[in-house]
């Protein structure tokens, strides 16, 4: 293998640039020519491919987002689009790919391998932490630190005004951000997609806190919670419990941006280098992750189908500490 390509796909996450930097520099150090593919699969189809040297990834490790950009590609979902993508890879002599992204990105990489035989390795770039085969995905630590900082500030104004705040965080299918930030910010309750939300029980908990002279309360709501999101849950609670002045705050895409944490920079660098090493060893259709501080390789088929499971001990901890 002489030439490899690297691209970022799906939603951006803090640490993607650190991973890109590691892929480029570890690839060059191993004697490879490394090509950056802009705008994910869309750029692959349009031939937006540039050979990278070390200086192309200078001064990016501290930056959020992705300098390679990312985009959705409806055309890649078609056989014609994938043929165009493969033709452009052949044009540049690219024999292997490193995909930095999440579930959908890995599925696309698997399809490329199945249809054209190109070797592909992945790095888990998503703030949701919902991929099997790694303790933490790239961007998760940065995202929860962003949320905790925001919730701490919301808590200040909530306490000043005797307010109940419902804070909605990202997590359409997974509640990892909500659960971890709920514990770290001392939230009174956490509502996530993995568990059923019972409004009467939530109201009972809030009434208990009110009787204990709690002057404010914070409820963290994952956007995919079955209760319907922060606004809908807030309305249901307000109908039956109005002792607090109720407010809703949706943090939205602020969770994706900002400089990556030191943890994410180190983890992303390790994963990027491991993905290149995997290609050189002849691996394909695998994700480079970190479990118990050690690099591990997990087949895409397992990483994408078997999402991380919520730790029930953390759910119990939220309940205990909110008393």
Count the alpha carbons within 13 Å of 294 in the hemisphere toward its beta carbon.
Answer: 4
What percent of the chain stands above pLDDT 70?
Answer: 99
Tell me the pLDDT band of 215, cut-offs 50, 70 and 90: confident
Mean per-residue pLDDT over the chain, rounded:
94
Task: Please name the residues in contact with 256: beta carbons below 8 A apart, sequence gap of 6 or more.
Answer: 11, 12, 13, 14, 64, 65, 127, 139, 143, 170
Q: What is the pTM of this model?
A: 0.92
**Measured between alpha carbons, how far is 106 from 301 in angstroms, rounded to an integer?**
9
Residues 149 and 187 in one domain: yes
Residues 57 and 173 in one domain: no
What's the average model confidence in pLDDT over 234-245? 89
Check whether 309 has a pLDDT greater than 80.
no
Check whether 224 has a pLDDT greater than 80.
yes
Tell me the pLDDT band of 281, cut-offs 50, 70 and 90: very high
Choice among 128, 130, 141, 264 that is catalytic: 128
Tell me the pLDDT band of 86, cut-offs 50, 70 and 90: very high
Residues 152 and 270 in one domain: no
Task: Please name the residues in contact with 232: beta carbons below 8 A apart, sequence gap of 6 or more.
Answer: none
Q: pLDDT of 148-197, one tens digit each? A: 999 999 999 998 888 899 999 999 888 999 999 999 999 999 999 998 99
Residues 129 and 169 in one domain: no
Report the pLDDT value the prediction gives residue 131, as an integer from 0 to 100. Answer: 93
Check whether 141 has a pLDDT greater than 90.
yes
264 sits in the region (left: phi over 0; alpha: psi -120 to 50; else beta) called alpha
Report the pLDDT value the prediction gives residue 322, as an integer from 0 to 100. Answer: 75
Give the angle 271-46-50 at the CA atoms, nearest 5°: 50
Tell me the pLDDT band of 304, cut-offs 50, 70 and 90: confident
Report the pLDDT value the prediction gives residue 162, as an integer from 0 to 100. Answer: 86
Tell me the pLDDT band of 117, cut-offs 50, 70 and 90: very high
- HEC sequence for 57-107: HCCCCCCCCCCCCCCCCCHHHCHHHHHHHHHHHHHCCCCEEEEEECHHHHH
What residues make up the domain containing 169? 143-256
Report the pLDDT value the prediction gives residue 214, as an integer from 0 to 100. Answer: 84
Is 128 annotated in the active site? Answer: yes
Residues 181 and 296 in one domain: no
Q: Which of 222, 240, 256 is the last residue of a domain?
A: 256
CATH of the domain at 244: 3.40.50.460
Residues 128 and 23 in one domain: yes
Residues 41 and 56 in one domain: yes
Residues 32 and 131 in one domain: yes
Residue 318 in any domain: the answer is no
Residues 8 and 155 in one domain: no
Closest CA to 167 of 184, 183, 187: 187
SS3 249: strand
Report the pLDDT value the prediction gives residue 125, as an integer from 0 to 100. Answer: 96
Residue 154 in any domain: the answer is yes
1-5, 220-224, 316-320 — which is least confidently predicted? Answer: 316-320
How many CB atoms neighbour CB 211 within 10 A? 9
Q: Looking at the 3D structure of the chain, how many domains does it have?
A: 2
Helix axes 79-91, 103-116, angle to 10 degrees: 70
Report the pLDDT value the prediction gives residue 319, as an integer from 0 to 100. Answer: 81
Report the pLDDT value the prediction gives residue 312, as an integer from 0 to 100. Answer: 85
Residues 163 and 205 in one domain: yes
Distance of CA 9 to the CA centre of its chain: 12
CATH of the domain at 28: 3.40.50.450
Give me Rg for the CA atoms of the chain. Answer: 22
Check whether 308 has a pLDDT greater than 80.
no
Q: pLDDT of 94-105, one tens digit each? A: 999 999 999 999
Check whether 108 has a pLDDT greater than 80.
yes
Tell me the pLDDT band of 23, cut-offs 50, 70 and 90: very high
Tell me the pLDDT band of 78, cut-offs 50, 70 and 90: very high
Q: Record the tokens describing residue 301, joined without a space.
A: 């088929």
């Amino acid at each position: 293998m002489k030439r490899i390509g690297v691209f970022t796909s799906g939603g951006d996450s803090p640490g993607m640039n650190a991973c890109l930097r590691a892929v480029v520099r570890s690839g060059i150090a191993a004697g490879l020519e490394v090509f950056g593919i802009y705008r994910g699969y869309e750029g692959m189809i349009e031939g937006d491919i540039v050979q990278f040297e070390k200086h192309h990834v200078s001064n990016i490790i501290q930056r959020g987002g992705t300098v390679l950009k990312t985009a959705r590609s409806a055309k890649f979902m078609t056989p014609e689009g994938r043929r165009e993508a493969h033709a452009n890879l052949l044009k540049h002599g690219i024999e292997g790919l490193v995909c930095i992204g999440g579930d959908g990105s890995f599925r696309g990489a698997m399809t490329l391998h199945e249809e054209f035989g190109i070797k592909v390795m992945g790095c888990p770039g998503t703030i949701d932490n919902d991929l099997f085969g790694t303790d933490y995905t790239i961007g998760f630590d940065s995202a929860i630190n962003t949320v905790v900082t925001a919730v701490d500030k919301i808590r200040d104004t909530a306490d000043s005004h005797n307010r109940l705040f419902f804070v909605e965080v990202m997590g359409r299918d997974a509640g990892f951000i909500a659960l971890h930030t709920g514990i770290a910010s001392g939230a009174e309750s956490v509502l996530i997609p993995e568990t059923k939300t019972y409004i009467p029980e939530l109201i009972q908990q809030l009434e208990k806190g009110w009787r204990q002279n709690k002057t404010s309360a914070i409820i963290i709501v994952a956007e995919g919670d079955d209760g319907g999101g922060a606004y809908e849950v807030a309305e249901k609670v307000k109908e039956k419990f109005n002792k607090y002045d109720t407010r809703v705050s949706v943090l939205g895409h602020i969770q994706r941006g900002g400089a990556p944490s030191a943890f994410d920079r180190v983890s992303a660098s390790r994963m990027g280098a491991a993905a290149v090493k995997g290609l050189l060893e002849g691996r394909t259709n695998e994700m480079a992750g970190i479990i118990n501080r050690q690099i591990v390789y997990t087949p895409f088929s397992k990483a994408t189908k078997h999402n991380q499971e919520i730790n029930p001990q953390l759910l119990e901890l939220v309940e205990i500490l909110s008393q």
